[in-house]
Homo-oligomer: A and B are copies of this chain.
Amino acid sequence: MIKCGRPAKGNELLSRDRLLDAALELFLEHGYGNLSMETIARHARVSMRTIYSQFGGKAGLFGALIRRCSDQFMIDLSHEESPEKALNLFAQKYIYLITRPDAVRIRAILIGESPRFPDLATEFYEQGVKRNLENLAQFFTTQQRAGHFVELDAYFLAEQLISTLRGERLQQLQLGLATTPDEQQIKIWVQQAIHLFLHGVSLKKYH
């Protein structure tokens, strides 16, 4: 039998962390609907009472987990290098993060369960993708003032860059049809996408 009883001073959050860690791992593996509270409690060596007093229930626990993850996809964007170099650095880090198996799986679960947790999906999006888009838009505004980029709405450009970067491979990943790319593959992937984003496919001059 593991230690039980009231936690010593300073250790009040110990079971909470143990619970969140175990629950995250289990939700990633089994999804929301196919994971029982009993399994969570057993793996976290935590009593039912603790789960319900700390999070109110299964939905509350899931929400706390998602919120804890939702701000882990923020990437710095340097304004000091050449535009193409800065975008490449940003994109490589971003694509690396969002293609990790855990990140793919958590988005998949959230997409599947979004009708049940609409507010949670909103929060996840605004803490994650949206803040990166705002940074990118700021970057594009700077580049436009320097005369490097075409004068379209900066936030639209940010959205299109992110979409181009995701590429078909991320769609395949979300359906479980592709393997996780390593850093070298991502580097090539990102270079090709950004080159296309900057220069387009047409051979007829436009600008």
Binding site for B on A (CB under 8 A): 31, 33-34, 108-115, 118, 121-122, 124-125, 129, 133, 147-150, 152, 156-157, 159-160, 162-164, 166-169, 171-172, 174-177, 192-193, 196-207
Please tell me if the beta carbons of A112 and B177 are within 8 angstroms of each other in the complex.
no
- Is the beta-carbon distance between B203 and A205 smaller than 8 angstroms? no
- Please name the 6 residue pairs, one residue from A and one from B, whose CB atoms are nearest each other, closest first: A112-B112, A200-B200, A159-B168, A33-B33, A198-B202, A199-B200
A178 to chain B minimum Cβ distance, whole angstroms, is 10
Q: What number of copies of this chain does the assembly contain? A: 2
Between-chain CB contacts (< 8 Å), 30 pairs = A31-B112, A31-B115, A108-B114, A114-B174, A118-B176, A125-B177, A133-B168, A147-B203, A149-B202, A149-B203, A150-B199, A150-B200, A152-B201, A157-B196, A159-B167, A159-B168, A160-B164, A160-B168, A160-B196, A163-B163, A163-B164, A163-B166, A163-B167, A163-B171, A166-B166, A198-B200, A198-B206, A199-B207, A205-B205, A205-B207
